[in-house]
Amino acid sequence: MATLPELLAPAALEADVRRFWSSQSIFARSLDLRKEGAPFVFYEGPPTANGMPHNGHVLTRVMKDIFPRFRTMRGQRVARKGGWDTHGLPVEVEVEKLLGIHGKAAIEAYGLEPFSRKCLDSVWVYTREWEELTERIGFWLDTESAYATYHRSYVESVWWALSELFKKGLLYQDYKVVWWWPQGGTALSAGEVGEGYKQVDDPSITVRFRVRELGALLPVELASAVAAELAAGKISFLAWTTTPWTLPSNVALAVNATAEYAFTRVTTEAGVEIVVTAAELAPEGERVATCLGNTLSGCTYAPLFTMHEAMPYQAAQLAAGRSFVVVTGAHVDVAQTGIVHTAPAFGEDDFAARKEHGLGFLQLVGPDGKFLPGSAAGTLDLVGRHCKEVDKDIVRDLKERGLLWKSETLRHPYPFCPRADKDPLIQYARPGWFIRTTQLNAEALANNDAVTWHPETIGTGRFGDFLRNNVDWALSRERFWGTPLNIWSCPGCDGRVAPASVAEIQALGGVLAADVGADLAVHKPWIDSVTLRCPTCAGTMARVPEVIDCWFDSGCMPFAQWGFPHQGREAFASSFPADFISEAIDQTRGWFYSLLMISTLLFDDESCKKYGLDPRAYPRPYRNCIVLGHVCDAEGKKESKSKGNYTSPDLVLAGEMRAKVVADASLKPGQLGMKPPQVRSLALDPNERMRTADGRIFEVVARDVKGKDTVHLSPDDAAAAGDSITLIPPFPPPGADAFRWLFYASSPAWTNTRISLKAILEGQREFLFRLRNVHQFLALHGEGWEPTPVTTGAAHVLDRWILAELDSLVRTVTTHLDGYRAYEAARALSTFVDGLSNWYLRRSRDRFSSLDADGVAARDTLYAVLDTVALLIAPFVPFTAEAIYLSLRGTAAKENPEISVHLADWPAPNPAWCAPELAEDMALLRELASLGLAARAMVGVRVRQPLSAAEVVLADPARSARLGALVALLGDELNVREVRFSADAGRFVSFRIKPDFKVLGKKLGKDMKACQEALARLDGSEVRARVLGGGLTLALPGGPVTLGPDEIIVEVAPLAGFQASGSAVAVVALWSELNEDLLEEGLAREITSKVQALRKGMGVAYGEVLALEVVNVAASSRAARTLARFGAQIAADTLCRFALAPAGESAVVEVDGEVVSLRVQRA
């Protein structure tokens, strides 16, 4: 063909392809082309655009991209509607940072109307960066019609869902213990809580609770045995806690009803006393008596603190039930002391015990996390102090009063607010709104069982466990920016309504704000002023003040993105359930849960029928879910900007990174301080430097840099740079395809991905550059050739083999992508390209030197392979695939809107190319080549030096007959004149056999040493033959054991005159001696190689004949004999003629002391 365009450098190639996609509307055309195809439904998990995207988002987006691309090429209709998560704490917290405020009270002081407007503005701050990243990495997504969770249509859909739950009795108000964020003034869901755990050191204390009265259930003899100590106030229950701040709100002690408890007389600094604990946990001392836990029920004790007595409301709550009494509880484990301090205001189990046993209630800590007025007694004043800050003072007070038995420190995980990670959460009893998810737990588990999870252990393990331990969903949030809870309450008759839409609000007399826009009108604070007419008593109904958990918003997206049921019914019906979703593993308690649970709650058969939907069997709303691991640094630690072990996506995609500048007097001018993990990730050579666009050069050094996206410069450099600096590394950006390939090919998606520039570049070299080089080779040999389809069986064995491998690749990649196994598909592609480059092309290189029938067949075959590979890699590396596909169609392809790899159909297997026997034979031959090359390396001669022969001994000698047609390839690869098959390896090598300890360790145990000794006593050749012939049976102390080929290690030792290498399937031995005949041929090949290098350096056109002069060769030298024997071949191979070349390019060939001077010039 006239020209086969070469490929641009990665960054330029990707920019060029993006322009092509945009100018030719390729994404839109791909959708239109398959509009009549069977649907493949993909849900985009909505991100929040008020923060910068990071590498975790790159991973999720490229994993979401591959399967829609694949299914589109399979002819399916794949709509890719984008979306934005715009509500909730993430948005509020960012606005608080922007305004320099923190906490609920500060927001109220600022004003709810301006705060809500700021929240709306905030959600779009980084939209451009998100859309730019999405475009750069080649994630095709419809962002023009994207949904946003704050849109009125979306909110109304969510209201419909809540209204349905309300009507079903699944949405209710109650007083429950929730995980509470005091500074934010709101509860968090289990999913949110799970995001924020950190390791902390908390006090671990055991406290004396002085017994007042023994209960009536205790045996009389026990009461008599301890009567004296009871009268003296010398009996104590020992209870353990890690939350001393809850002790002022203690109401009861809980014991295990069936466990044995002991009364133990001990001597302490306070004298002789009796302590009560679980018997197996009792301290050293005299055991006075034992009893079962249920007999302790009803015993009373003196409160540790009495400050509640001066607080009328608290005293009244306490008096409403039993107090300072021992009760039984199923939650009590026999651990620590076996007695649990119970404060119903601050523990879920404690609150349940209150209901079960009719306990009173104390809550001396307010919703802001601070102790209430009146929380003082003696020298202990807790008033106005945050609960997590008073532990030491409470412990000190208990110690001073002789109530502290033991005090230690416990390191354990504790939850913090995931959006304000310095704010600890507390368990707190609070009125709120809940969804009765436990009522449909069996249905949710059945739904989960029908989902195909990748990996499947998520469904049976992490996610399944979460469902099995499910609690009712804490829905309400006492916050501001979120979907308002659509419950209106009547103070006159206690009636409640849950309107499902604005229309239903208006039907009850509600009037929305008219001057703020449709979207804000359904948000706080404007919706708070909307009152309704009570349908029961005609009174005035007011909305409850809460908003809802934003995870409920996101879980409604399958129907809310269409505005269902108020609109979009057909669109929803055709896109429910999804065939595929994917997010990171932390979404097991987030989006994965909210999607599955809401769909389980809402779309039973009756509800589907009501809204004109066909019944949706499980699973719903997603059939396949890929659960992604975390993005980690090169050492396996989770990436963190603040820690610096973070590879900037801008560095990978655009070849630059922007950072804030801080002056550092410890740095010299021209030095750039970065966090040590950043320095390691860059992996610069000692002489490599970072630079700026204006040419300044910086040496990178490690420094203790604080803050995210920050670097240190010397004071002078910092003054010149200003507040920020854009840095450019000393290497071109790897680009999006290299980034994508790392995530697909480095490990299965659900394992953690280790990312570094080094890893990205290694993957690029292993696959993308290797493929580019194959394309480049064809481009260089395309002149004068016009490709023709390869439709029939190829004549050359290498062509038949690569086409058979291609056919197998099509089948393999298709099967893996059908099964959502991107990693396995990527590895198959990488293995194929390795074989294409390092076997097919290397062994076929000489065939491309002419345009005879075989040369044309080789070109046609390589063209067909590259064309199909471009299709196969399109879902993985869409830019490189597009560039290769267009290049193969010539320079005019970009002007034709009908031509794009992403408009093409997925390749089908070609039965005519299928050749499994040839594939097996070539695989064996390649293994023989690997063994031979290992042996050749031991010979220690140059690559171009031929050897006389290779001796091959196969474990299965019968296979040698099938290798006959391939032997010439092996000889060429090993550079030997002859390949001979032999049945007797003992002529060339000796064998030493050892057991494979890793494989046999568990199998043999103590018999391993005996096995090793037995093998050492046997002849190695005999052991090998018997193992390969069906197994070697050894009599060991533990009984007979049969060893197979995978359980032994065969070491090969060559005999004199040979070098050899072996495996379980073969031994290859090379004759290592060199004679003059071989040395002369080797020198001829070195001369040929040097002349070819000169041609390349001169930029000579293919086919141009040059003049070659060999200077000053002694007549009796090896060089003279070499030229006499091989001169004609050298000239033919190099397209030269021997002639004077006084002005030519010169070079020297030096081999084993033989020196040959050459000159080459244009004839």
Residue 173 known to be catalytic: no
pLDDT at residue 823 in the model = 97
Same domain, 775 and 868: yes
- The active-site residue out of 159, 551, 562, 839 is 551
Q: Is residue 692 domain-shared with residue 772, that is, in the same domain?
A: no
Q: What are 61-71's pLDDT values in tens digits?
A: 999 999 999 99
Residues 994 and 1083 in one domain: no
Closest CA to 339 of 281, 286, 395: 281
Burial of residue 704 (CB within 10 Å: 0-12, 13-18, 19+) is exposed
Q: Is 1142 exposed, middle or buried (0-12, 13-18, 19+ CB in 10 A)?
A: exposed
Using the 3D structure, point to which of 388, 410, 432 is the last residue of a domain.
410
Q: Do 1027 and 1104 belong to one domain?
A: no
Q: Tens of pLDDT along 352-399?
A: 999 999 999 999 999 999 999 999 988 899 999 999 999 999 999 999
Whether the CB-CB separation of 152 and 521 falls below 8 Å is answered with yes
Mean pLDDT of 307-320: 92
Predicted local confidence at residue 756, as pLDDT: 85
> Using one digit for the tens of pLDDT, what is the confidence trace for 1047-1058?
888 788 888 888
Q: Which of 317, 363, 587, 1059 is catalytic?
A: 587
The 10s digit of each residue's pLDDT in 411-451 is 999 999 987 888 999 999 988 899 999 999 999 999 999 99
308 with 390, same domain: the answer is yes
Q: Is residue 867 part of a domain?
A: yes
User: pLDDT higher for 897 or 777?
Assistant: 777
What pLDDT is stored for residue 1055 in this prediction?
84
Quick one: average pLDDT of 2-16? 85
Residue 1032: give its domain's CATH number. 3.30.720
Residue 168 placed within a domain: no
Domain that holds residue 1003: 989-1054
Give me the mean pLDDT over the 712-730 stretch. 94
Could you please report the per-residue DSSP string of 618-645?
SS-SBSEEEEE--EE-TTSPBP-TTTT-
| Count of the separate structural domains present in the chain | 5
Which of 168, 641, 643, 758 does the annotation list as catalytic? 641
Catalytic residue among 10, 46, 499, 875: 46
**Which of 159-163, 175-179, 316-320, 513-517 reaches the highest mean pLDDT?**
159-163
Does one domain contain both 886 and 792?
yes
Q: Has residue 479 been placed in a domain?
A: no
551 in active site: yes
| Catalytic residue of the set 5, 368, 637, 638 | 638
User: Exposed, middle or buried by CB within 10 Å (0-12, 13-18, 19+), for 302?
Assistant: middle
| DSSP-assigned letters across all residues of 649-676 | HHHHHTS-EEEEEEE-TTSPTTEEEE-H
Please indicate, yes or no, whether residues 1137 and 1015 belong to a single structural domain of this protein.
no
- The phi, psi pair for 292, rounded to 5°, reads -80, 155
Of the ranges 479-483, 789-793, 963-967, 1059-1063, the best mean pLDDT one: 479-483
- Looking at every residue in the chain, the average pLDDT score rounds to 92
Domain boundary among 734, 769, 792: 734
Q: Which pLDDT belongs to residue 641?
A: 67
Query: CA quadruple 805, 811, 814, 818: dihedral positive or negative?
Result: negative
Q: For residue 663, give the CATH number of its domain.
A: 2.40.40.20
| Domain match, 389 and 262 both | yes
- Tell me whether residue 587 is one of the annotated catalytic residues: yes
Distance in angstroms (rounded) separating the CA atoms of residues 739 and 648: 11
Q: What is the H or E stretch that residue 184 is in?
A: none
379 and 273: one domain? Answer: yes
Rounded Cα distance, 203 and 490, in Å:
47
Residue 597: closest CA among 744, 734, 444, 480: 444
84 is catalytic: no
Our answer to whether residue 1096 is catalytic in this structure is no
Work out whether strand 710-713 and strand 376-377 pair parallel, antiparallel, or are unpaired.
unpaired
Among residues 591, 801, 839, 913, the one annotated as catalytic is 591
- Asked if the structure places residue 234 within a domain, the reply is yes
Tell me the average pLDDT across 616-626: 95
Mean pLDDT of 51-59: 86
Q: How much is the average pLDDT of 280-285?
A: 95
CA dist 299 and 328 (Å) reads: 11
* Strand intervals (E) in 685-735: 690-691, 697-702, 710-713, 724-727
Asked about 524 being catalytic, the answer comes back as no
| Percentage, residues of the chain above pLDDT 90 | 72
Please check whether residues 249 and 396 belong to one and the same domain: yes
Q: How are strands ordered across the β-sheet holding 710-713?
A: 690-691, 697-702, 671-674, 710-713, 657-663, 724-727
> What are the tens digits of pLDDT across the range 99-112?
999 888 899 999 99
In a domain, 1033, yes or no: yes
pLDDT value, residue 193 = 86
Cα four-point dihedral sign 219, 224, 225, 229 = positive
Q: What is the pTM of this model?
A: 0.85
Does pLDDT of 917 surpass 70? yes
| E runs forming strands in 955-1038 | 976-981, 989-995, 1032-1036
Residue 875 lies in a domain: yes
What pLDDT is stored for residue 635 in this prediction? 80
- The SS3 call for residue 695 is coil
pLDDT of residue 1083: 93
Given 896, 927, 953, the domain boundary residue is 896
Q: Catalytic site residue 1129? A: no
User: Residue 1060 falls within a domain, yes or no?
Assistant: no
Shared domain for 1028 and 1157, answered yes or no, is: no
**Whether 764 and 725 share a structural domain:** no
Domain containing 309 — which CATH number?
Answer: 3.90.740.10
Identify the pLDDT of residue 351: 93
In a domain, 118, yes or no: no
Mean per-residue pLDDT, 923-935: 94
> What's the average model confidence in pLDDT over 12-21?
95
**Is 2 a residue whose pLDDT tops 80?**
no
Are 826 and 741 within 8 A, CB to CB?
yes
